[in-house]
Structures are given as C-alpha cells and as structure tokens.
Chain A
Amino acid sequence: MHSAFVISQTDPRPLYQQVKDQLRHRIAVGALKPGDEIPSIRQLASDIRVSVITIKRAYLELELEGVIQTRQGRGSFVADNAQLGDSLKEQELTQHLRSALSAAALLHLTEDQLVERLRELRREDSQGRS
C-alpha cells in the first residue's frame, strides 16, 4: 500500500500533512478498513524516504483525531469504527468548502453568490456528462 504514497517537496503542504492526508484518503475510499494494520513508523519512513520524526508526528496526530490506534508492542491499526470512512469523507468535504469560503472572501463574494456559483458548476458538470 505504501508504494502508492506520493510525497512531494514542491507541494505547499508540509510532509507530515501529506502523509496524514494520504492515509486518511486511503481510509475514506475503503482501501484501508477499520482494524487493518498499517506499517510501523520506521517501516513507512524507510519505504517513502521521509524522516522518522515526520511519520511519528503524522501518526500521533491521526491517533489524537481517532483515525488510527497504536497498541503497545503490536503496531498501529486503522481505528475500529465502521463509520470512519464516511466521517473522513465528510471531513474532506468540509475542508474543501472552507477553502472555497476563504477564496470567495478574497473576491468579496456574498454567500448567495458563492452558492449560485456552486449551482452553476453543478449544471455545467451534468451537461458535460450527458
């Protein structure tokens, strides 16, 4: 699973954030399921050639967010929560909406204008598909 990790040093997100986002995404799409074992910190660090301290930070934050669990001496696992995938998708959406909100603020758009833009996009997309 880690072979598909893509860590880029030209991405504006810090390295630990990229590791977090990619693990969360794997859980959101169901590539990793609740209870699945994930690689140890040193294993993943060496596989994707990113410092141990960076992976440690990503795992620690994911643990605090309830996404993974580390069992002493047994390794790290995706949290045992059947709704986890859906709730991560929810969080991804919230994150995208937040950045849309701040971009809209820079353009001085009202809330209604932003919602209208969203509707327009949706119409364009459905027309493009038919």
Chain B
Amino acid sequence: MTQQVSPQAFALRGVSKAFRYFKLENLSLELPLGQILGLVGPNGAGKSTTIRLLMGLMTAETGSIEVLGHRVPEQVAAAKAGVAFVSDDMRLFSGATLAWHMRFVASIYPEWDEAYARTLLKHFNLRAEQGVKGLSRGEHIKSMLLLALARRPRLLILDEPTSGLDPVARHELLTELMQIVRDESRSILFSSHNTLDVERICDQIAFIDRGRLVDARDKESFLDRWRRISLDVPTGVTLPRLKDVVNLTLGEQLATLTTDRYEPALDAVLQASGARITDVQRMSLEEIFVASVMRSRAEVQS
C-alpha cells in the first residue's frame, strides 16, 4: 500500500448537510498534521455531525472531505485504517470483558500496541478481566479510550471525551493526549464543552454554532486578539466610534469595552478621547467563546 503524502490530518471544504431541523452550512475546516484541534460549540451546534461526516458515517450534500490524504466517503476504508474514534454515545458489547475487546481490536488493527494497552490499564485504573456490564460510566469511557489509544492512530477523534470522567481520569487522559503529539505526524480532533481543557492543550480552535463556523484560528492568535478594557469616562467625554468593538457596556462614568482586534494603539485612541483606562484584561477562551457566539447570532438575525 502506498501512503499518500498530505500535510493535513483532515480537510473539510465547503461542506453542507441539511436535516429536517438543522443545517450544517458551507463548513471549511482543516487540521495540520501534528496538531490538536478543539471543536467548541453548544449542544446541537453541529460538532457531532461534523465528526460523522469525517468518519464517512453520513454523506455531505456539497463540498469535499479528505482524511489522512484519502477522499471520504469514496476511500473511507483506507482513511479509517489510521483513524480512531471515541464518542460519548458508543457502547462496548455488554456480554464481554474488556480483555475480549482488546483481543478483538488487536485482531483487526495491525498497529495495536499491547504493551501500551497494558500501561493504559494501569494509568486508567481498569481491570482487563472485568465484564463490561459491571463497568461504571466513567470506566466505560476509559475502556473505549484505551481501545482507541492503543491502536496508535494517526488521527484520533474524540467527541466529548472528558464529559463523563472524574478529574483524576481527565488528568490522565490529557496526559496521554499530549504524549501522542510528541510524534509530529499524529493529530487529534477533540470536541468539548470544557473550554479549560481546550485552552490548555489545543493548538487550533474552532467555534461552531447553529451549523455555522463562527471562528477558527490557532489558539495563540485567538487569545491575543481579544481584550476587555475597563474605562473611566468623565462627564462630557464621548468615546470614539471604533469598528472592532464586540461589546460596549456603559455605566455612570464607567465603560467596559470588548474587542477582538486588540492592539496597543487602541489604548492611545481611547485615552486621546479623554477617557482613562483602568484595566486591560485578557479573556479566557470561555469568555471569548460566549462573546463570539452572541455576536454571530446577532449578525445572523439582523
């Protein structure tokens, strides 16, 4: 088998898919090799639909999809050989043990790493001989993560991986994810509500809401562009009209301004108007996410 060379772990271009009550619209999104992409969005935003399209589990109406250099859905079998996928709503066979699942996955995927699987059993505090029926929800998720990680996939796709995990298991998972990207050719797509995890380990971030991509860029530029500026506005002073203001809250002699195009020159512009800057704060990814989504919804409505 010849390996196609591709600088992207995956690429979606102009992808649309309509359902009765929901439409994914003209989605373009890429993940460079060796990076972690965090897909962040509210419930029903289209995160799982995006992942299902990548996995060839449904077909797009327009646009093109490439995964590990293979066209999807045409070459989905070749693509899937290198992809491991874990979703919150997947289930193991309830009549079998974890050990049975490990043998099963090992028999299908030649890349299976038995030694790593044993290490993960310890890290995740799991017992191979335990029957699936007796697993707690957290243990169930950890078992599926183990089966995915031990395949040593080139692209790991996790749909809400941390939502059912306790803090210790979450810590272990993030550690394992960071081990994966020591290898520059392995990539991870990770959809989550947990913006704190995303902010910490992701290289690329994409916000999605109501089937539309709200914003996507590398994490450092994301966090660099947004600021919340607190101002004293003495009586008689009017703030200048600025075009990149996402939100402006005016109180008595006080104002708070949120911008997604911050640069230090802005401070001078504001001060020249007679206002006094009392604080310039960076924003957390969660705050940026909420502000982006609110603005995007306002734009769609107007």
Contact = CB atoms under 8 A, between A and B. Distances in A.
B199 A9 contact: yes
A47 to B, nearest CB: 8
Interface string A43-56: 10110011111100
B220 interface: yes
Contact of A53 (B175, B219, B282): B219
B97 to A, nearest CB: 31
B202 A49 contact: no
A14 interface: yes
A52 B34 contact: yes
Contact of B201 (A14, A49, A106): A49
B188 to A, nearest CB: 11
Contacts of A46: 178-179, 181-182
Nearest to B180: A46
A42 interface: yes
Given A9-B199, A14-B223, A14-B282, A53 B179 contact: no
Contacts of B218: 53
Contacts of A50: 178, 200-201
Interface string B193-207: 000100111111000
Interface residues of A, number: 17
- Size category of the B interface is 20 to 34
Contacts of B282: 12, 14
Contact of B200 (A15, A42, A57, A106): A15
Interface in B201-259: 201-204, 218-220, 223
B157 interface: no
State the majority secondary structure of interface residues on B: mixed
Contacts of A106: 278
A52 B178 CA distance: 9
A85 B239 CA distance: 45
Given A49-B174, A49-B175, A52-B35, A42 B182 contact: yes
Interface of B: 34-36, 174-175, 178-179, 181-182, 184, 196, 199-204, 218-220, 223, 278, 281-282
Given A45-B182, A49-B200, 19 more contacts: A9-B200, A12-B281, A12-B282, A15-B199, A15-B200, A16-B220, A42-B182, A43-B182, A46-B178, A46-B181, A49-B201, A51-B201, A51-B203, A52-B34, A52-B36, A52-B181, A53-B203, A53-B219, A54-B220
